[in-house]
């Protein structure tokens, strides 16, 4: 028997589709994890920490070296000055940071504005915290924020904005104008912004010169923004689950108050190695972004050639296709048929929307954070079969 707070929350789609890939021997372009590791020197630092005795509990807020490295990262990239002892905390990945932030800050009945489609943990944790979602939908094919809908989403009961840019699953990078609109609303209505910036360094060149603009850098926002991120995506170390939260003392403390009852502390030998990544390899994510851009282009071209109109993402690991031109009106049905048809697995985007029959029903998400040979094989398989319904 499951507690009522979990009613209606389906098992994560990522586990289901990855199991389907393994069972059918398909190329897995579903779950967003790379198949190549991060910097060798960072891996060696983790081994050295293991062998050097860093195998017991780390401080609940994180080891000092990593907290200092995170503070330096925020200063170097964004000009944010933080006290590493009170304004930085280490988490077990960004997923835990989101969970602890919502559990530590959201009161039952509080409304939270969230961009839809959204990473699936947002729905689960908002429900567990008793919050009420106020979705603002990014509609295909451009996936931009409708500023009128954004303003209309705020009511007298709204207390928070849960922001995600670069955005999973659409790959949209919010423009400065869009982020400024969020900031203006937050100041006008006294809202707190919780921002998931886990793809902060994975922004690509292209039309409009997309750039990641952290909302905390805008006037009046540093004191009302809790910024969350992770080493996993930027350094291809997703399995390490080392993330962080930064911001004003009272918001970080609220997150830690919940985090202490979730994991209490995070992987001790991985934290010194994460500090090595941030301090000694600050340019590695830039090189990774260049590699990912080339992989994005390979996949988008292959999907388009296979009859799947695909938006070109500005960042992240993901591209989104519309399956209607192949005669499918249901992305889930398409994804369940795809392993047998083509030996490839993708994710139906409708699971990231409140209404599965709504604006995401016909969309499918693909991950391009794989080796070029893997992507080429997936593209070849998709292009060699009939994908029409």
163: tokens are 């922001």
Q: Kindly report the average pLDDT of the chain as a whole number.
A: 96
Cβ count within 10 A of residue 33 = 18
Rounded to an integer, what distance in angstroms lies between the CA atom of residue 347 and that of residue 284? 28
Per-residue confidence (pLDDT) for residue 309, from 0 to 100: 97
Per-residue confidence (pLDDT) for residue 172, from 0 to 100: 97
User: Which CATH number applies to 4-38+284-383?
Assistant: 3.90.1150.10
Kindly calculate the radius of gyration of the chain based on its CA atoms and give it in whole angstroms: 20
Please, which pLDDT band fits residue 8 given cuts at 50, 70 and 90? confident
40-280 adopts what CATH topology? 3.40.640
Please, which pLDDT band fits residue 201 given cuts at 50, 70 and 90? very high
Which residues, in sequence order, are bridge partners of residue 230? 243
pLDDT digits (tens, 9 = 90+) for 101-128: 999 999 999 999 999 999 989 999 999 9
> What's the Cα-to-Cα distance from 97 to each of 100, 103, 122, rounded to whole Å?
5, 10, 11
Please, which pLDDT band fits residue 193 given cuts at 50, 70 and 90? very high
Residue by residue, DSSP assigns 324-389 as GGGT-S-HHHHHHHHHHHHSEE-EEGGGGSS-TTSTTTTEEEEE--S-HHHHHHHHHHHHTS----
The structure's pTM equals: 0.96
Structural contact between residues 235 and 285, judged by C-beta atoms closer than 8 angstroms: yes
Is residue 11 predicted with pLDDT exceeding 90? no
Is residue 5 predicted with pLDDT exceeding 90? no
State the average pLDDT over residues 322-345: 96
Is residue 13 predicted with pLDDT exceeding 90? no
pLDDT digits (tens, 9 = 90+) for 125-155: 999 999 999 999 999 999 999 999 999 999 9
Per-residue confidence (pLDDT) for residue 235, from 0 to 100: 98
pLDDT digits (tens, 9 = 90+) for 32-44: 889 999 999 999 9
pLDDT digits (tens, 9 = 90+) for 66-77: 999 999 999 999
State the average pLDDT over residues 219-243: 98
Rounded to an integer, what distance in angstroms lies between the CA atom of residue 125 and that of residue 140? 26
Which residues, in sequence order, are bridge partners of residue 220? none
Dihedral pair phi/psi, residue 311, rounded to 5°? -70, 140
pLDDT digits (tens, 9 = 90+) for 338-369: 999 999 999 999 999 999 899 999 999 999 99
Cβ count within 10 A of residue 356 = 16
How do the domains of the chain map onto residue ranges? 4-38+284-383, 40-280
């Amino acid at each position: 028997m499951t507690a009522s707070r979990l009613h209606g929350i389906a098992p994560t789609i990522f586990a289901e589709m990855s199991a389907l890939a393994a069972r059918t021997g398909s190329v897995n372009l579903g779950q967003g994890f790379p198949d190549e590791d991060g910097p060798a020197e960072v891996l060696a630092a983790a081994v050295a920490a293991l062998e050097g005795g860093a195998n017991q509990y780390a401080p609940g807020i994180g080891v000092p070296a990593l907290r200092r490295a995170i503070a330096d990262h925020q200063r170097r990239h964004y000009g944010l000055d933080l006290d590493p002892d009170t304004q930085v905390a280490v988490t077990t990945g960004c997923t835990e940071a989101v969970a602890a932030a919502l559990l530590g800050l959201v009161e039952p009945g509080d409304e939270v504005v969230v961009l839809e489609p959204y990473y699936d943990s947002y729905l689960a944790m908002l429900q567990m915290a008793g919050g009420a979602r106020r979705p603002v939908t990014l509609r295909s094919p451009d996936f931009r924020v409708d500023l009128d809908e954004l303003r209309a989403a705020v009511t007298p009961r709204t207390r928070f904005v849960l922001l995600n840019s670069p955005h999973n699953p659409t790959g949209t990078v919010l423009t400065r104008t869009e982020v400024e609109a969020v900031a203006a609303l937050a100041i006008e209505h006294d809202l707190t912004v919780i921002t998931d910036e886990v793809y902060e360094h994975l922004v690509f060149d292209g039309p409009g010169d997309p750039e990641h603009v952290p909302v905390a850098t805008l006037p009046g926002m540093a004191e009302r923004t809790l910024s969350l991120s992770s080493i996993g995506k930027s350094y291809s170390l997703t399995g390490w689950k080392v993330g962080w939260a930064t911001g004003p003392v009272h918001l970080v403390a609220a997150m830690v108050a919940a985090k202490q009852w979730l994991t209490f502390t995070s992987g001790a030998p991985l934290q010194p190695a994460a500090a090595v990544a941030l301090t000694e390899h600050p340019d590695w994510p830039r090189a990774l972004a260049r590699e990912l851009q080339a992989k994005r282009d390979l996949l988008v071209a292959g999907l388009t050639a296979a009859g799947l109109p695909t938006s070109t993402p500005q960042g992240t690991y993901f591209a989104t296709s519309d399956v209607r031109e192949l005669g499918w009106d249901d992305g889930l049905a398409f994804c369940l048929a795809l392993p047998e048809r083509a030996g490839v697995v993708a994710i139906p985007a409708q699971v990231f929307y409140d209404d599965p029959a709504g604006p995401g029903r016909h969309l499918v998400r693909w991950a391009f954070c794989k080796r070029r040979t893997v992507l080429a094989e997936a593209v070849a398989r998709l292009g060699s079969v009939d994908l029409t319904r």
